[in-house]
A = this chain, B = another copy of it.
Amino acid sequence: MVNISKVQQAAVLLFARQGFAATGIRELGGAAGINSATIYHYAGSKEELLVQVMRSCLDEMITSGAAAMRISAEPTIQLAALVSSHVGFTATNPLTARVAEYEMRALSPDNRTAMQKLRDDYESLFAQVVERGIRVGDFSTDDATMARLALMEMGTGVAHWYRPDGRLTLIEVQHNFVAMACKILSANQTMLDGIDYIRPPVVVASEPTGTSVTISG
């Protein structure tokens, strides 16, 4: 229970830095402080290790996102909660999130299908909010799809630069992104006044701790 996280954290750290394909199983063992053969006690293969990490990451994103949407029936508040959740998760688990995003291509067809399904489920949360906001007249945009994609891309980008000890607190970043999202969708930001739509983000087991790594590219 404690060791498996160590392995997953080592995996995420190295996969994020170098990519799945460029990371060897021996390297993983070394980073986790165990013999490389021992990894096969925790995961049947290198790919399964990646799948474990991706699945728990996407599961948590979906769970948090769905919970965020349940705090209100108002599209604008749902949008704020969802964007906050997304940005919060991404900023809190930057390496895991990055791996879950980048390494889809490393999966074999079966696993890829399964993981893509989870990602699609997650993205559909955004699609639902945007679509309903437009339908009820709270949002307005030239192109709903493009707006949604831009929204997510932006939020995901947080993983590239956010640092807990940086210039801005996480909450500031979240508010900022909510503001940008509202602008993009021409939503009325004042609807959010006095609403506490931010939930503290979960730290997933696979996220390395104490590593302030700079990942380039």
Q: Does A179 belong to the interface (CB within 8 Å)?
A: yes
CA A154 to CA B180, docked complex, whole Å:
12
Interfacial residues of chain A within 174-190, with CB under 8 A of chain B in the complex: 175-177, 179-180, 183-184, 186
Determine which of B143, B154, B168 lies in contact with A154 in the assembled complex, contact meaning CB atoms within 8 Å: B154
- How many chain A residues have a CB neighbour from B under 8 Å? 43
Q: Does A216 belong to the interface (CB within 8 Å)?
A: yes
Q: Could you tell me the distance in whole angstroms from the C-beta of A98 to the nearest C-beta in chain B?
A: 11
Q: How many copies does the complex hold?
A: 4
Task: Say whether A105 contacts B180, CB under 8 Å.
Answer: no
Residues of B within 8 A of A102 (CB): 102, 217
Q: Nearest chain-B residue to A104 (Cβ)?
A: B217
Q: Does A142 belong to the interface (CB within 8 Å)?
A: yes
Task: Say whether A22 contacts B154, CB under 8 Å.
Answer: no
Q: Does A156 belong to the interface (CB within 8 Å)?
A: yes
Q: Could you tell me the distance in whole angstroms from the C-beta of A116 to the nearest C-beta in chain B?
A: 6
Q: Could you tell me the distance in whole angstroms from the C-beta of A64 to the nearest C-beta in chain B?
A: 21
Task: Say whether B153 contacts A168, CB under 8 Å.
Answer: no
Q: Does A17 belong to the interface (CB within 8 Å)?
A: yes
Q: Does A121 belong to the interface (CB within 8 Å)?
A: no
Task: Say whether B153 contacts A216, CB under 8 Å.
Answer: no
Interfacial residues of chain A within 61-106, with CB under 8 A of chain B in the complex: 101-106
Determine which of B105, B142, B143, B180 lies in contact with A17 in the assembled complex, contact meaning CB atoms within 8 Å: B105
Q: Which segment, of A29-37, A131-139, A144-152, A202-210, faces chain B?
A: A144-152
Residues of B within 8 A of A149 (CB): 157, 160-161
8 inter-chain pairs at a CB distance below 8 angstroms, sorted by A residue, are A19-B106, A22-B106, A142-B176, A145-B167, A146-B173, A150-B157, A153-B160, A183-B183
Please name the 7 residue pairs, one residue from A and one from B, whose CB atoms are nearest each other, closest first. A104-B217, A153-B157, A21-B21, A21-B22, A183-B183, A150-B154, A105-B217
Excluding A105-B217, A143-B176, 11 further A-B contacts by CB distance (< 8 Å) are A19-B21, A103-B217, A142-B179, A146-B173, A146-B177, A150-B157, A152-B157, A154-B154, A180-B184, A183-B183, A183-B186
